[in-house]
Amino acid sequence: MATVAFIGLGNMGGPMAANLVKAGHSVRGFDLLPQNLEMARTNGIGIASNAVEACAQAEFVITMLPAGSHVLSVYEEIAPAANKGSLFIDCSTIDVVSARTAHAIAARHGHLSLDAPVSGGTAGAAAGTLTFMVGGSAEAFQRGEAILAPMAGKIVHCGADGTGQAAKICNNMILGISMIAVSEAFILAEKLGLSHQALFDVTSTSSGQCWSLTSYCPVPGPVPSSPANRDYKPGFATALMLKDLKLAQEAARTAGAATPLGVHAKEIYEQFESRGHGGEDFSAIVKYLRQADL
Ligand code: NAD
């Protein structure tokens, strides 16, 4: 059994911390929102009155926060106060530059650290089946793997500091682009008199096959579990997809990588969000493309 501090007990952090408690770990948490603290308390998480207090005696410090600025300000606050030698693990999805800065803050105060963003959404967080993409030293990964296990379906060590975040934004850039590609194909098929089911039956076993088609089909019918069958209730909200596409573009600019389809996908989701659809599942982009005069 380990002692864990968990900062950020929102939609993802709350159920992730609850799974650590279920696995027998002692978890102390903190969040700015009283309702999230209350929910955490009912799941067996000890409540601290601030982030520094949550870290007292912790061997592992896990953060699950909205963006890079939140992670850096929490790290500046807790790194000097946390137990020397505790392992810092940031599971938030943040930009690569901030992730590397967070590693540097931890190191300055004598802590090993990992960037460990996840995919799998709130359902995966509740079920303990998240995929963790982990960046950091081999020593840090070796120490952190077991504490991630009760929250994980799969854990991949991607390489040095920041490579977990790099894997996350590269994956989600593929996802954002491929969802637009699949949506465009369905819209073209509609105009050509080809039914959704017939297109699905052909492409799901042909070279157009991809996750956006066979697991998350943007039109209702062919994949009963996809959000299209429940009026595009997320799932994975458009606003979160847009956040990740922006992070990918930030990284591409910094690294000097050409990602023309990534640029265009970000612009298309930006337009969809600005028309008030940020809360709908990102596969609802098919509705926008159907109407759009792009
Ligand atoms: P959320 O807004 O529900 O949770 C974030 C929590 O952080 C909030 O409860 C907020 O009060 C808390 N917080 C902010 N600043 C704080 C501070 N200084 N101290 C303590 N608590 C603070 O968001 P979420 O959906 O849980 O997402 C968290 C992270 O996970 C994000 O980076 C997101 O991109 C990523 N993510 C989300 C999903 C998803 O499906 N929701 C999937 C994969 C990754």
Q: Write down the pLDDT at residue 121.
A: 87
Residue 151 maps to which CATH number?
A: 3.40.50.720
Q: Write down the pLDDT at residue 235.
A: 87
Tell me the percentage of the chain whose pLDDT exceeds 90: 96
Q: How far is ligand 1, taken at its centre, from the CA of residue 17, in Å?
A: 13
Q: What is the pLDDT of residues 194-227, one digit of tens each?
A: 999 999 999 999 999 999 999 999 999 999 999 9
Question: Whose CA is closest to 117, among 210, 16, 46, 40?
Answer: 16
Q: Locate tokens 């392992």: which residue?
A: 87
Q: What is the pLDDT of residues 64-83, one digit of tens each?
A: 999 999 999 999 999 999 99
Same-domain pairing of 118 and 7: yes
Residue of 12, 90, 95 to mutate, ligand 1, most atoms within 8 A of C-beta: 12
Least confident of 12-21, 120-129, 221-230: 120-129
Does 239 have pLDDT greater than 80? yes
Whether ligand 1 lies within 6 angstroms of the CB of 164 is answered as no
Q: How far is ligand 1, taken at its centre, from the CA of residue 37, in Å?
A: 13
Q: How far is ligand 1, taken at its centre, from the CA of residue 187, in Å?
A: 35
Examine the fold and report which residue of 160, 189, 210 is the final residue of a domain before the chain moves on. 160
Closest C-alpha residue for ligand 1 atom 38: 121
Same-domain pairing of 85 and 188: no
Closest C-alpha residue for ligand 1 atom 9: 10
Same-domain pairing of 32 and 106: yes
Whether ligand 1 lies within 6 angstroms of the CB of 168 is answered as no
Whether ligand 1 lies within 6 angstroms of the CB of 277 is answered as no
Q: How far is ligand 1, taken at its centre, from the CA of residue 8, in Å?
A: 6
Residue 284 maps to which CATH number?
A: 1.10.1040.10
Whether ligand 1 lies within 6 angstroms of the CB of 64 is answered as yes
Structural domain tally of the chain?
A: 2
Same-domain pairing of 148 and 180: no
Examine the fold and report which residue of 115, 135, 160 is the final residue of a domain before the chain moves on. 160
Whether ligand 1 lies within 6 angstroms of the CB of 242 is answered as no
Same-domain pairing of 76 and 221: no
Same-domain pairing of 22 and 153: yes
Does 266 have pLDDT greater than 70? yes
Does 294 have pLDDT greater than 80? no
Same-domain pairing of 226 and 275: yes
Does 40 have pLDDT greater than 80? yes
**pLDDT band per the 50, 70, 90 thresholds, residue 293:** low
Our answer to whether residue 287 is catalytic in this structure is no
Same-domain pairing of 76 and 218: no
Whether ligand 1 lies within 6 angstroms of the CB of 133 is answered as no
Atom number in ligand 1 closest to CA 13? 26
Whether ligand 1 lies within 6 angstroms of the CB of 13 is answered as yes
Same-domain pairing of 87 and 131: yes
d(CA 41, CA 28): 10
Does 268 have pLDDT greater than 70? yes
Q: Which residues of 103-142 are buried (b: 16+ CB within 10 A; e: fewer)?
A: bebbeebebbbbbbbbbbbbebbbebebbbbbbbbeebbe
Same-domain pairing of 177 and 155: no
Q: How far is ligand 1, taken at its centre, from the CA of residue 30, in Å?
A: 12
Same-domain pairing of 43 and 154: yes
**What's the rounded mean pLDDT across residues 160-186?**
98
Examine the fold and report which residue of 111, 139, 160 is the final residue of a domain before the chain moves on. 160
Q: Which one from 84, 168, 233, 243 is the annotated catalytic residue?
A: 168
Q: How far is ligand 1, taken at its centre, from the CA of residue 248, in Å?
A: 19
Residue span of the structural domain in which 119 resides = 3-160
Same-domain pairing of 217 and 118: no
Q: What's the predicted TM-score (pTM) here?
A: 0.94
Q: How much is the mean pLDDT over the chain?
A: 97
Q: Bigger pLDDT: 42 or 291?
A: 42
Closest C-alpha residue for ligand 1 atom 20: 31
